Amino acid sequence: MSYTGWAVLAMAVYGVNAVLLKLALRQVPAEVALAVTNTVLVAAGFALVVFRGQSIVAHLSFGWPTVYLGLAGVTLTVGVVAFYTALSRGPASVVVPIFAMNFAVASLLGVVLLGEGMTIQRGFGLLLAVGSIILLTR
């Protein structure tokens, strides 16, 4: 499957995940939901490493890639905790679209920090995404 196929799958599954999570958060505290869902995620990650014959230790060193992984883990943790907390307190129809703007942030950072190209179409798409969040949150 191409990277766009994987991205579409991720989009669809994240959408379903948010609804399932919101249903669970009606009765389960956000911290408990966070622990359970992320335990499943970590277990699946380790299983995938074993299934594909990878070695975690072989890919870690005292270099920048390991620092980037550590920082990504910290930012992922803050983001997921904030998302679960927001979803437990607010409507999914508002929280999820705001959360989904993380992709626009990543797109802008890709242009600024990674030197990825910005086209008129991409810029217009980002403006439309911001506009959609404004409309969805009112």
Instruction: State whether 52 and 118 are in the same domain.
Output: no
Contacts 24+ apart (CB under 8 A), 100-109: 100/14, 101/129, 101/130, 101/133, 103/129, 104/129, 104/130
The pLDDT tens digits for 29-55 are 999 999 999 999 999 999 999 999 999
The count of domains in the chain is: 2
The pLDDT tens digits for 54-71 are 999 898 988 999 999 999
What does the chain come to in residues? 138
Instruction: State whether 44 and 82 are in the same domain.
Output: yes
Instruction: State whether 86 and 121 are in the same domain.
Output: no
> How confident is the model at residue 46, as a pLDDT?
96
Instruction: State whether 74 and 136 are in the same domain.
Output: no
> How confident is the model at residue 138, as a pLDDT?
79
Domain enclosing residue 71, as ranges: 3-91
Instruction: State whether 58 and 35 are in the same domain.
Output: yes
Instruction: State whether 107 and 126 are in the same domain.
Output: yes
Measured distance CA(20)–CA(36) in Å, rounded: 13
The pLDDT tens digits for 88-134 are 999 998 898 889 889 889 988 999 999 998 899 989 988 998 898 88
Instruction: State whether 20 and 72 are in the same domain.
Output: yes
